Amino acid sequence: MTDSDHALAELTIQQLDGFATEFARAIEPLVDEQSIRAVQAQFLGKKGKVGEVLKIVGKLPPADRAKVGAAGNKIKNTIEHEVARRLGELVHAAARADLARTFDVTLPARPHGGGHLHLLTQVRLEAVQIFSELGFVVADGPQIETDWHTFEALAIPKEHPARDMQDTFYVSEEIVLRTHTSPVQVRTMLTQPPPIRIVAPGHVYRRDDDPTHSPMFTQIEGLAVDEGISFADLKGVLIHFVSRFFQRDLTVRLRPSYFPFVEPGAEVDMQCSFCMGAAVSPPCRICKTTGWVEIGGAGMVDPDVFAQCKVDSEKYTGFAFGMGLERMAMLRHGVNDIKFYYEGDLRFLEQF
Ligand code: FA5
């Protein structure tokens, strides 16, 4: 082994190390895969610079071959690593450019359409709020109810003509889908002694189906039982409720009517909130120009009902009322078909 052999090995290693800088300079300005690959081939291809230089290895003394071989591997790794890095950068840059083409990040964000409570839920909560400010608390009862709580205890025995007023879905001979919220009166009086002040909102069911009547609808029942409760208290509560709910002073009219569980009984009418009773043209479609709309029934609790519910009718008196919440919402928002509430059409629901 001669000194010149060693010198050749050293020279080769320097040449190989020098390729790193040369290669870096060559690919630095390149911005496409094809030209990067071409430069890679100039160095690592079959006739590339690195291979050409390494041809010398076979002529070197064995002790130097390993050193030169290692330098050759080092430059190969450096070049391959750099090519992979630059190609990766190109892929990311292309993806970013694609995003910029697809999305305009300067556009204002679309309003986020959050959900909200259904109109009937809003109306129910509002009604409960108004009554709770008067000292009423919420009571509840089952929608699948016994015939006894729905009818018998409310002085409507079987074969009583009043059963025809509420066409009933029967589950069995003794079980019904409640036709009104009035059975909650019975359940409350049977479980708590007077004084009682409750409201009971909830679903009820009847074999009814037209633009103002639905087979399932919502009522809110009210019951107050105490010493000295009078018809004037009932009227005061209803007037207060209507003026709060419609946010204006509307006249409430109690028209004598018959419900077996109250005596005296009345239909609750309110002044039409659309035409206010004026002779408008075309005729008001809400009240049909009568100037009044019915919103529910009411009256003083019948002593027979007190007897069924073990309340002393010598000591206590009470009033009760039941109103349809769909009707109330229709009157306040001008909804002209009860089915809109239940169809789930967002074009309707989003208005409230
Ligand atoms: C009753 O249901 C009695 N329980 C109310 C009552 C309670 C009277 C306490 C006395 C004391 P009525 O059947 O009239 O009464 O129904 C009350 C209200 O429910 C009606 O005024 C109407 O607003 C609403 N309503 C009745 N049937 C339907 C229906 N099919 N669809 C939508 N709303 C209805």
Mutation choice for ligand 1 from 180, 208, 258, CB with most ligand atoms inside 8 A:
180
Residue ranges around ligand 1 (CB below 6 Å):
166, 180, 182, 206, 208, 213-214, 217, 219, 221, 259, 262, 265, 294-299, 320-324, 326-327, 338
pLDDT in tens, 281-307: 778 877 888 889 899 999 999 999 999
Q: What pLDDT is recorded for position 1?
A: 52
Using 70 as the pLDDT threshold, list the residues of the chain that sit under it. 1-3, 5
pLDDT digits (tens, 9 = 90+) for 178-227: 999 999 999 999 999 999 999 999 999 999 888 778 999 999 999 999 99
pTM above 0.75, yes or no: no
How many Cα atoms sit within 13 Å of 143 on the Cβ side?
Answer: 11
CB 323 within 8 Å of CB 220 = yes
204, 169 contact by CB (below 8 A): no
Identify residue 84 by its one-letter amino acid code.
A
What local confidence, expressed as pLDDT, does residue 64 receive? 86
Ligand 1 centroid, distance to 296 Cα (angstroms): 5
CA gap 202, 138 in Å, rounded: 11
Q: Which atom of ligand 1 is nearest to the CA of 166?
A: 13
What gap in Å lies between CA 2 and CA 12, rounded to an integer? Answer: 16
How far is it, in rounded angstroms, from Cα 28 to Cα 91?
Answer: 16
Instruction: Please give the distance, rounded to the nearest whole angstrom, from the Cα atom of residue 82 to the centre of ligand 1.
Output: 82
As beta bridge partners, residue 256 has: 266
pLDDT number for residue 2? 65
Q: Which amino acid is at 4?
A: S
Distance 133 CA to ligand 1 centre (A): 24
Q: What whole-number distance in Å separates Cα of residue 296 and Cα of residue 29?
A: 84
Residues contacting residue 348 through CB under 8 Å, at least 6 positions apart: 340
